[in-house]
Amino acid sequence: MELYRLTAHQIHQLLTEKQVSSVEVTEAALNRIEQVEDRVQAFLTLTKEQALAQAKAVDEKIARGEQIAPLEGVPAAIKDNMCTKGVLTTCASKILPNFVPPYDATVVSKLNRQGVVMLGKLNMDEFAMGSSTENSSVQLTRNPWNLDTVPGGSSGGSVASVAADEAFFTLGSDTGGSIRQPAAFCGVVGLKPTYGLISRYGLIAYASSLDQIGPVTKDVADCALVLNAIAGHDPLDSTSANQGVPDYTSSLVNHVKGLKIGVPKEYFGEGLDSEVAEAMKAAIAKYEELGAIVEEISLPSTEYALPAYYIIAPAEASSNLARFDGVGYGYRNTEAEDIVSMYSKTRSEGFGPEVKRRIMLGTYALSSGYYDAYYLKALKVRTLIKQEIEQALATYDLLLTPTAPTPAFEIGAKTDDPLTMYLSDICTIPVNLAGLPAISIPCGFSKGLPVGLQLIGKAFGENTILRAAYTFEQNTDFHLQKAALTRG
């Protein structure tokens, strides 16, 4: 039995039945990493000794006859923009080459308390800015389905490691689609929860009003388990929602009869790959066959989401990244003659091209004389988009769209054209602007590469999303098909 191919809930069952030990499962994951990591390159830091020590502690607990939590003893990994006490946290940037946090992010603390085995930290676009993980200053992560294509971004390492069976689940962050878009590219499940459902304390910020941590898993059942483990109010995060959290596994029901699903026509226009469109039609037909009511709707403000996002997100980034100046921590230029040139040289040498581009865009949009013309107007458009989607969700239980307009593209295909790259997130960005939850699940193939289906729900309506996703999964086999891990 190849343990690394199993899901987290299958591993839990084997552990509770004492058919395997957590150490055996962890060694299987570490051996798998050793076997494929030179090709996938998902990990920036591997914490092998820590993982085996945690696994041993879980086995000792089981030996004493104690009950274990649903994710206890299951190996996982974390995107490298979440603080991990005593473990290198770099955001895949030259400006944070040796940063070892003195504390854990709240989500990491929660997983530690659940007894999850931590395998290490994962590659990403620098400071989560990108749609392909090609903006990492450290290494190039590849898509396990075809090593000549990108895994998506910015959580490319988080997603590729799950698709390659290196980790049973991972955490990513989603600012404009950075969990869902790579999940679609790599054929796994990725959830962007409602803004405020999961604490952002310890997440190194890109755009604070848009960032959200979420799970990347092999199937929907695992997604519900991870959400149970990390959701909930956190007094350390002022944007954390102070409300109760349901048991998300209760939504794992194979039933959508009577569920009303709206399909926004604006997501099916120019630029949508023909095979992606066919996969969407087949998914809609499947939901109708299962008893859901599917109707076409219109969200006319959708076309303004991308420009609004690329004013708001860079504006927040220019503020958030001002702290990286070479004074307190991180990289510092040591040849500067005065403090002003030290700031300038440190940031010029430490930040990559995409981060610099977004800082400059954001600083410009916030500058005197341009604030009202750009930033304030973008905020008004954001409100309009939010209201429009919420109005649609007052009539429908869910909205259904493609996760991305195309399958994974070849490495280097869009690096010289930032605007074309930005269009990769055109289907996911409106969800972040509205602060709503959405999931991407595998629903087909285009050019031999996975296609993702996006389901968008009401605020704190993760249960409905998970039920619809689980039902689709139970009646199709796309989630069971595995990456070949062979060069295209």
pLDDT, averaged across the chain: 96
Per-residue pLDDT, 423? 84
Write the pLDDT tens digit of every residue in 448-461: 999 999 999 999 99
Active site residue 274: no
Average confidence (pLDDT) over 270-291: 97
Q: Which domain holds residue 308?
A: 303-379
Q: Write out the two tokens for 102.
A: 């003195």
Same domain, 338 and 411: no
pLDDT exceeds 60 at position 487: no
Burial 379-410 (b: 16+ CB within 10 A, else e): bebbebbbebbeebbeebbbbbbbbbbbbbbe
Contact 460, 233 (CB under 8 A): no
Residue 141 has pLDDT above 90, yes or no: yes
Q: Domain for residue 319, yes or no?
A: yes
1: pLDDT strictly greater than 80: no
The one catalytic residue in 178, 199, 251, 424 is 178
Confidence category of residue 183, pLDDT binned at 50, 70, 90: very high
56 counts as catalytic: no
What's the pLDDT at 418? 84
Q: Give 374-391 pLDDT, tens digit per residue.
A: 999 999 999 999 999 999
Q: Report if residue 198 sits inside a domain.
A: yes
Q: Is residue 132 flagged as an active site residue?
A: no
Residues 25 and 164 in one domain: yes
Looking at the fold, whether 186 and 82 belong to one and the same domain comes out as: yes
In a domain, 311, yes or no: yes
Q: Please check whether residues 35 and 95 belong to one and the same domain.
A: yes
DSSP string, 268-307: GSTT--HHHHHHHHHHHHHHHHTT-EEEEE--GGGGGHHH
Do 217 and 325 have their domain in common? no
Do residues 127 and 24 share a domain?
yes
Pairing type for strands 189-192 and 117-122 reads unpaired
Please report whether residue 27 resides in a domain: yes
Going through 206-259 in order, the beta strands assigned E by DSSP cover 213-217
Cβ contacts of 353 within 8 Å, gap of 6 or more: 135
Asked if residue 436 and residue 339 are part of one domain, the reply reads no
Residues 6+ apart with CB under 8 A from 51: 26, 29, 30, 75, 117, 118, 119, 120
- Position 239 confidence tier, pLDDT thresholds 50, 70, 90: very high
**Which of these three, 379, 410, 425, is where a domain ends?**
379
Q: How far apart are CA 212 and CA 441, in angstroms?
A: 18
Domain identity same for 406 and 345: no
Residues 252 and 104 in one domain: yes
Indicate if the pLDDT at residue 69 is higher than 90.
yes
pLDDT for position 484: 79
Same domain? For 370 and 398 the reply is no
Label residue 394 by pLDDT band (50, 70, 90): very high
Cβ–Cβ < 8 Å for 398, 155: no
Choosing from 79, 121, 414, 458, the catalytic residue is: 79
* Residue 293 forms part of a structural domain: no
How many whole angstroms separate alpha carbon 97 and alpha carbon 92? 8
Q: CATH number for the domain including 419?
A: 3.90.1300.10
235 pLDDT band (50/70/90 cuts)? very high
Rg (CA), the chain: 21
Single residue among 338, 355, 379 that ends a domain in this structure: 379
Tell me which residue has tokens 């341009």. 370
Angle (nearest 5°) at CA 74 between 73 and 77: 125
pLDDT, one tens digit per residue, over 143-170 is: 999 999 999 999 999 999 999 999 999 9
pLDDT at 327: 92
Q: Sorting pLDDT into bands at 50, 70 and 90, what band is 486?
A: very low
Residues 406 and 375 reside in one and the same domain: no
* pLDDT band of 307, cuts 50, 70, 90: very high
Q: Is 34 in the same domain as 171?
A: yes
Provide the domain count of the chain: 2
User: What pLDDT score does 36 carry?
Assistant: 97
Q: Which of 320, 352, 379 is the last residue in one of the domains?
A: 379
> pLDDT band at residue 425, thresholds of 50, 70 and 90?
very high
Tokens of 326: 């070479």
Strand ranges in 65-220 using DSSP code E only, listed in sequence order: 75-79, 117-122, 169-173, 189-192, 213-217
Residue from 109, 154, 158, 173 carrying the catalytic annotation: 154
pTM: 0.96
In a domain, 294, yes or no: no
Is 271 within the bounds of a domain?
A: no
Residue 101: inside a domain, yes or no? yes
